[in-house]
Chains A and B, each alone.
Chain A
Amino acid sequence: MSSKQQRRLGPSRTGTTHFWHQRLTAIALIPLTLFFVGLLPNLAGATHREFVTLMHFPVTPILLVLLVGVGLWHMKLGLQTIIEDYVHGEGCKLALQITMTFGTVLLGVAGVIALVMLAAMPPA
């Protein structure tokens, strides 16, 4: 047994990091989800001007950036587990994990940049 395994990190050398991050993001997502659900009726049918006005309250872009960031992190951890469990064949599994991770990062960057742009838009 290698010394890394003896230091409780196991063969993946990441120990309980995946488990712990999934729980941390889950806890953070409870209030963030409730905020998002409360926000949705205000966004349904809103005009662009109304949406931009809503984004000028600092709390809206701050919580939405957190929702996108923490939510996608949580999503990545969950999808990773689903791929590990149900996709057999090492090549296919690896390809899917890479695609999924890149896709998640792309979504996160796009979402945060869109939110920053919206928060910086001048009031119409």
Chain B
Amino acid sequence: MADARNRPLSPHLQVYRPQITSVLSITHRATGIVLSLGSVFLVLWLLAAAAGPRSFEIAQDCAGSWLGYAFLFCFSVALFYHLLNGIRHLFWDTGHGFELATATRTGWAVVIGAVMLTAVAWILGLRIVGGL
């Protein structure tokens, strides 16, 4: 049982030179944490709405503030990145796409796709809201 304590854990990140594949991998986890935080705010927002018009108005004021929009922007970037990179992961689960060149290419596609989806979502979204 002595070696049960010394089982290998995840690689120690600091000894590796950052590469596009490893950076995107850790970003997937980081964006997952951002989305977890976002889910807390989403439930709080739903509770405020369920409690009635007055508390919902406060929640909407918070969400519509400068800070609220900044968080919503971070949330949307994390959401689109995690969505696209998650699809990349599902593609890997089929056993394809592990060649270094392919992994690099799909990685950049995820980054560019996330930036583009964020831009499109905000432009369309603000147009619907009437801010643009």
Contact = CB atoms under 8 A, between A and B. Distances in A.
> A and B, one complex?
yes
Interface of A: 23, 26-27, 29-30, 33, 37, 40-42, 44-49, 51, 64, 68, 71-72, 75, 78-79, 82, 85-86, 88, 107, 110-111, 113-115, 117-118
B19 interface: no
A48 to B, nearest CB: 4
B103 interface: no
B49 A48 contact: yes
Given A23-B93, A44-B125, A113-B50, A85 B43 contact: no
A33 B83 contact: yes
Residue of A64, A68, A114 with highest tally of chain B CB at under 10 A: A114
A40 B125 CA distance: 8
Contacts of B9: 85, 88
B46 A115 contact: yes
Question: For B49, B63, B121, which residue has the most chain A Cβ atoms within 10 angstroms?
Answer: B49
B47 interface: yes
A41 B49 contact: no
B39 interface: yes
Contacts of B90: 23, 26-27
Contact of A111 (B43, B52, B79): B43
A72 B35 CA distance: 10
Contacts of A23: 90, 93
26 contacts: A23-B93, A26-B86, A26-B90, A29-B86, A33-B79, A37-B79, A41-B126, A41-B128, A42-B128, A45-B60, A46-B60, A47-B53, A48-B57, A51-B49, A51-B56, A68-B39, A68-B42, A72-B39, A79-B36, A85-B9, A88-B9, A111-B43, A114-B46, A115-B46, A118-B46, A118-B50
